[in-house]
Copies of this chain bind each other. A is one copy, B any other.
């Protein structure tokens, strides 16, 4: 089968398209999956650039997110049958509840390997069913970005109808956070540096938008939109550069779900503690979280926003698109 390996920590240049033997037939609780599509996260670039070289070796297969169809199952498998459409959970061994110590993540080159390949064998415990209304390309966008957004909204305390959420920018997590927050009945305020993108966010359901380039004190704009109180929840993706304003834009006793640190680790500042805020760090989620989210996605026929779809031979181009940060929504690889 064909697959990609990150042979050296040199970013896109370190990537190689390889041909290797097919995985052995599944046994026990194993499932053989034909990967029909995968999607890319910014994390792929971090890993390929060696940002975590202290904890991992090169020569891994990148991409945590994929979707496909069950080709064969081991003799003890009860959750799936050949022909079922499936996705793999981002965090291996995290089946439900709190994250266990032996959890690992697909595409990190340890025991587990990523999805940039034609076929993969995984335990049935790591797989979830694809919502019927989604294509493989759409399903491939969910494992990391959508589940991160879902848990940012409800991991520590579920968002309630009528509450207000602030989402930042147009990355995959932020767009999913917007779409999912609407399913919780929340009001969504979205920021971007581009009026064209803000227009698309409104089409996706944003109740109010702020162009943070035109309005550098976007925190004050948020307060103005919330009768001076601030939002109930911020889905923080920016990190140090945005955090102080996120704090200022959050209501007393509100909370901030931190899902990314594009600009480094944030410092909460005095206001944070004076006003009783709380912070939760989101590390994607469990297989059970994934299944619960998929019920919502299925019921509401939520459609992931896809920026672009590339062929399996064009993964380097897809990664360059990701690197450009010009995308709106997810970048997908079609494997066949």
Contact = CB atoms under 8 A, between A and B. Distances in A.
Interface of A: 27-30, 76, 78-79, 93-102, 111, 123, 125, 154, 156, 158, 160-163, 180, 183-185, 187, 229, 252-253, 258, 261, 264-270, 272-273, 275-283, 286, 288-289, 292-300
Given A162-B293, A162-B297, A185-B299, A258 B281 contact: no
Nearest to A275: B281
B280 A163 contact: no
Contacts of A296: 160-162, 185
A187 B297 CA distance: 12
A248 to B, nearest CB: 14
Q: Nearest 7 CB-CB pairs, A to B?
A: A96-B97, A162-B296, A162-B295, A267-B267, A161-B296, A161-B183, A183-B185
A287 B152 CA distance: 25
Given A183-B185, A281-B276, A100 B111 contact: no
Given A96-B95, A268-B268, A276-B281, A161 B187 contact: no
B286 A258 contact: no
B265 A270 contact: yes
A111 B29 CA distance: 12
What number of copies of this chain does the assembly contain? 4
A99 B265 contact: no
Contacts of A125: 93, 95, 125
Nearest to A163: B295
- Majority secondary structure of chain A interface residues (helix, strand, loop or mixed): loop
A54 to B, nearest CB: 11
B97 A97 contact: yes
Contacts of A29: 28-29, 123
A164 to B, nearest CB: 8
A78 B112 CA distance: 13
Contacts of A28: 27-30
Contacts of A180: 161
Given A276-B283, A278-B279, A101 B252 contact: yes
A168 to B, nearest CB: 16
30 contacts: A28-B28, A79-B102, A93-B125, A95-B95, A95-B97, A96-B98, A97-B97, A97-B288, A99-B253, A100-B288, A125-B125, A160-B292, A160-B296, A161-B180, A161-B184, A161-B296, A161-B299, A161-B300, A162-B294, A162-B299, A184-B184, A185-B185, A264-B270, A265-B268, A265-B270, A265-B272, A268-B268, A276-B283, A277-B281, A278-B280
